[in-house]
């Protein structure tokens, strides 16, 4: 997983990719609950699963953009850099999750996460 994130994110070092993975999985662990959280953890490598599952879910879920801003504030990076990190990690997570689980995960999260996972954000017409 780490090498895929490093390649997808064009990170110069393994350490930089690892920092992105840790930041994003900690954040996702604070947002995701229920069976989807358990199933996703089961599909991740053990260390990544531990990072995700080791987080206490937030009481108030964040939208996709608020999620990126929260991660930027926690890491001290710019929102643009954090958005890149988030997309690099969550694209890999999406591949590991598979389309069915990813659809269920996205249905549990507030708006704005589909693009972070590399999917189009579809909305119903009024």
Under the banding of pLDDT at 50, 70 and 90, the label for residue 120 is: confident
Sorted by where each begins, the domain ranges of the chain are 2-108
pTM of the model: 0.93
> What are the tokens at 109?
């999260």
Domain 2-108 in this protein, CATH class: mainly alpha
Report yes or no: 100 and 53 within 8 Å, Cβ to Cβ. no
Residues 6 or more apart in contact with residue 2 via CB below 8 angstroms:
14, 17, 18, 21
Report yes or no: 23 and 75 within 8 Å, Cβ to Cβ. yes
Give mean pLDDT, residues 87-115.
Answer: 96
Rounded CA-CA distance 102/93 in Å is 9
Q: What is the pLDDT of residue 122?
A: 62
């Amino acid at each position: 997983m780490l090498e895929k994130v490093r390649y997808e994110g064009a990170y110069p070092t393994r350490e930089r990719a690892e920092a992105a993975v840790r930041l994003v999985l900690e954040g996702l662990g604070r947002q995701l609950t229920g069976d989807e959280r358990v199933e996703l953890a089961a599909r991740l490598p053990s260390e990544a699963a531990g990072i995700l599952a080791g987080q206490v879910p937030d009481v108030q879920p964040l939208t996709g953009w608020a999620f990126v801003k929260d991660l930027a504030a926690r890491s001290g990076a710019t929102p643009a850099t954090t958005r890149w990190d988030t997309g690099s990690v969550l694209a890999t997570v999406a591949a590991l999750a598979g389309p069915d689980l990813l659809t269920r995960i996205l249905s549990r999260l507030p708006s704005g996460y589909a693009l972070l996972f590399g999917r189009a954000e579809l909305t119903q017409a009024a």
